[in-house]
């Protein structure tokens, strides 16, 4: 399944593709503040990013680029992968790469439209995610979206020079439960 175009009051979301290859995107991936709690690493090259985007285009995956409606600026990405329709579950992830747009509510706005799509159109019953416990802004975002903590993986990953706990969080479709 491919990501459909989605729209909010201030944003539009389109399938991530090679058209998003840019120096700005590359800068996000090489910015230690942006990727501090992500599984990606620094030292990305433009060719590595191009290969990643080509690979994404080939996959049947729900992976969106987040754009501002006001000026078409690509500010981040959001994905739902994998989707396991048999069990009615999926995994959520988001990257807000443009630091100048942090703190403006765009992550919540994009997340809400994607969550609604999953629940209303895919009949997903439960959305899961993993987040580093020390990533306080992400944890606060997820809680504000209605995600609850289901478990804690103790000292599960190595971030910011130390082993950190990873929270497993989930959001249930209230239309089903």
Question: Residue 60 carries which DSSP code?
Answer: -
CATH of the domain at 65: 3.40.630.30
The answer to whether position 93 is within a domain reads yes
91 is a domain residue: yes
Q: Is residue 108 part of a domain?
A: yes
The answer as to whether 161 is a domain residue is: no
- State the chain's maximal CA–CA distance in angstroms: 45
pLDDT tier, 96 (very low <50, low <70, confident <90, very high otherwise): very high
Q: What is the pLDDT of residue 40?
A: 79
pTM of the model: 0.96
* 29 domain residue, yes or no: yes
**Is the confidence at residue 177, as pLDDT, over 80?**
no
Q: How many domains does the chain have?
A: 1
| Residue predicted with more confidence, 67 or 60 | 67
* Residue pLDDT, tens place only, 107-143: 999 999 999 999 999 999 999 999 999 999 999 999 9
Phi, psi for residue 52 in degrees, rounded to 5: -60, -45
Tell me the three state secondary structure of residue 64: strand
Task: Give the DSSP H or E segment for 123.
Answer: none
Residue span of the structural domain in which 42 resides: 6-126
Residue at 105 is within a domain: yes
Give a yes or no: residue 156 inside a domain. Answer: no
**Residue 171 bridge partners (DSSP):** 127
Residue 41 has pLDDT above 80, yes or no: no
Question: Does a structural domain hold residue 33?
Answer: yes
**What pLDDT is stored for residue 175 in this prediction?**
84
């Amino acid at each position: 399944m491919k990501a459909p175009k989605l729209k909010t009051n201030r944003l539009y979301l389109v399938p991530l593709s090679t058209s998003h290859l840019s120096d700005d995107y590359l800068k996000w991936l090489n910015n230690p503040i942006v990727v501090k709690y992500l599984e990606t690493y620094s030292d990305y090259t433009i060719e590595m990013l191009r290969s990643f985007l080509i690979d994404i285009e080939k996959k049947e995956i729900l992976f969106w680029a987040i754009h501002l409606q006001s000026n078409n600026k690509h500010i981040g990405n959001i994905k739902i992968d994998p989707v396991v329709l048999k069990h009615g579950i999926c995994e959520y992830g988001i990257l807000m790469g443009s630091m100048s747009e942090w703190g403006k509510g765009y992550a919540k706005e994009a997340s809400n439209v994607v969550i609604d799509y999953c629940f209303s159109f895919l009949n997903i019953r439960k959305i899961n995610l993993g987040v580093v416990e020390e990533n306080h802004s992400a944890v606060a975002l997820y809680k504000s979206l209605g995600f609850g903590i289901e478990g804690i993986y103790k000292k599960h990953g190595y971030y910011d020079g130390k082993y950190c706990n990873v929270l497993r969080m989930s959001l249930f479709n209230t239309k089903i439960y």
